[in-house]
Structure 1
Amino acid sequence: MKRILIVDDAATMRMYYRSILEGSGYQVHEAVNGIEAMEKFLQEPFDLCIVDVNMPKQDGYSFLSELRSRDISQAPALMISTEAAASDRTRAYAAGANLYLVKPVKPDELLTNCRLLLGEAKP
């Protein structure tokens, strides 16, 4: 079973993503900021992480940059944010995101992009 880490400070967003992903057979874990997410990554590997940008203590950009700089098992990262400017997208990719989506994200859009990053996309 594929393991997905949701990194978002908003409990409602974590519950929304969790319900969609668990309903599709994924094992879901949560972190409320980049620091907690890094602690989880150092303990065990994940197959995918879904990362918010704006979070307290450590934002999504800093978390991904730090994750990518470490010599640990890496996972594709889907960054989802309310920030819609081209500069936000560029900054996300520079930090190590594999895909960038702008909120709100519909359930089918979330699943399609997660499957793509997990190598499960159907043609």
Structure 2
Amino acid sequence: MKRILIVDDAATVRLFHRAILESAGYAVDEAVNGIEALEKALQSTFDLYLVDVNMPKLDGYGFLRELRGSELPQAPAIMISTEAGARDEQLAYAAGANAYLVKPTRPERLLLLVRMLIGEVPA
């Protein structure tokens, strides 16, 4: 079973994404900020990261830069943000994101991206 880490400080958003992913058959873990996400990535291997931008302690950009610059096993990451500007998207890709979604997330769009990034459907 593929494992996905949801990194978001908002409990409602984590629950929403968890429900979508678990109903599609994925194992889901959660972190409330980039620091906790890095700790979880050290302890376990994930097939994909779902990362919010704005979080306390270490934001989504910082988390991805740390992850991409580390010796940890690498997995695709989808950056999810309320920020819809082109600059926000550029920053996400520069930090190491593989895809960018604007909240609120449409479940079918999220699942299509997840399946493509973990290789379950052709891109």
Q: Any residues of structure 2 matched to 1:1-123 within 5 Å, and which?
A: 1-121=1-121
- Deviation string 1:59-111 (CA, Å, 9 cap, x unpaired) is 00000000000011011000000001111000000000000011111110110
Cα distance in 2 for residues equivalent to 1:78 and 1:121: 16
CA drift at 1:121 = 1.6
| Structure 2: runs of 5+ lacking an equivalent | none
Q: What stretches of structure 1 move > 6 A for 4+ residues in a row? A: none
Identity %: 66
- What's the secondary structure of 1:49's corresponding residue? strand
- Deviation string 1:20-77 (CA, Å, 9 cap, x unpaired) is 1000100000000000000000011100000000000100000000000001101100
Task: Return the TM-score normalized by structure 1.
Answer: 0.98
Residue type matched to 2:62 in 1?
Answer: S
CA drift at 1:122 = 5.3
Task: Return the TM-score normalized by structure 2.
Answer: 0.98
Q: How many residues align?
A: 123
Cα distance in 2 for residues equivalent to 1:43 and 1:96: 21
